[in-house]
Amino acid sequence: MPSYDLACEGCGTEFEVFRTRFLRDEDRECPDCGAMGARQLMRAGFVSGVAPAPQAAAGGAGGCCGGSCGCGG
């Protein structure tokens, strides 16, 4: 189930909302002060199916894999 990190514009409280679908307006109500319209926080996290960028081998010629594959790095 997706979770959304929110922050209240009024009092600064950060809170989390669990939803099976998209956020609704009523999900943005601050649990501390009751203000509406909390903003969604963008947090770094795990992204499925994304491979890390290739790194050059130490002392290699650069390129996609340090030049050891014959790609001309």
From first to last of the 73 residues of the chain, give the pLDDT tens digit: 788 999 999 999 999 999 888 889 899 999 999 999 999 998 776 555 555 555 555 555 555 666 666 666 5
- The residue extents of the domains of the chain are 3-40
Q: Are 24 and 36 in contact (CB under 8 A)?
A: no
For residue 58, what pLDDT is reported?
A: 52
Cα 15 to Cα 4: distance, rounded to the nearest angstrom: 8
For residue 4, what pLDDT is reported?
A: 92
